[in-house]
Amino acid sequence: MNRFDRVTSLLLLLQTRTVVTAQYLSEHFNVSERTIYRDIRTLETAGVPISAEAGVGYFLEKGYHLLPVTFTLDEAASLLLGEKLLVSSLDAD
């Protein structure tokens, strides 16, 4: 899993749980705790309100939710068309 996917998944996981520890996250994503600390810092730098309590874990501040991505019908159709064009132009490598 690349870093972007892991950080995004980390945010989604934080939204679904009350509190998570760095140890749990490192085991879940199969990375070191130090990597989790860096990923948490990345989210904080991006403006995500993450709090932590020593010996307890990380949690999102109450009321914070990542808004769902919504597309108009035309935007969704354009994305699907673009994907089909891209896939059809790829070679075997």
User: Could you tell me what percent of the chain has a pLDDT over 90?
Assistant: 56
For the chain, the distance separating the N- and C-terminal CA atoms, rounded to the nearest angstrom, is 21
Q: How many helices (H) and strands (E) does the chain have?
A: 4, 2
Contact 2/42 with Cβ under 8 angstroms?
A: no
Domains and CATH numbers, the chain: 3-60 (1.10.10.10)
Residue 85 has pLDDT above 80, yes or no: yes
What is the number of alpha carbons within 13 Å of residue 81 lying toward its C-beta?
A: 6
pLDDT in tens, 2-21: 898 999 999 989 998 999 99
Mean pLDDT of 58-72: 81
C-alpha to C-alpha distance for 59 and 10, rounded to whole angstroms: 11
Amino acid at 11: L
